[in-house]
Amino acid sequence: MALTLEQFELANQRARALQSAYPVAVSVHYDRRIARIVIALASGLELALSPKLIQGLEIGRPADFANVEISPSGFGIHFPHLDADIYLPALIDGFLGTRKWLAAQNGKLGGIKSSDAKKNAARENGKLGGRPKKIKPLLAA
């Protein structure tokens, strides 16, 4: 597929719009003292993030956050030891991972929450005999 001059100009327009809407990263480092990745933005704002909350970084150790690279655009942050990336505009918008990954994280949180409604529902379900047993289909001979 050949890139036309019109497509090239449209891509440049989108890039300029993105640059005016979001600040770029100027430096990134891991602060062991607070166990956070610290991203300094061109606007003067600093973001301190727990790697445990970001998809792809949750499995990392402090040594894995060394030699972090910022993309030429300033919107991408790459962690070579983990082969993981952060897209800064998405991070600023509050997306720390894919929908599937975020849903799994939220499901874990929902499962550990306790409430009177959950307790009462568990009691009522217990009176009914609990969860029904799975019936295995018979194999045809």
Give the span between the Cα atoms of 42 and 36, in whole angstroms: 19
Report the CATH fold assignment for 5-97: NE0471 N-terminal domain-like (3.30.2020)
67 close to 78: Cβ distance less than 8 angstroms: no
| Confidence (pTM) | 0.62
* Averaged pLDDT, groups of 10, the chain, 141 residues long: 87 84 91 95 90 90 93 93 91 69 61 72 73 74 57
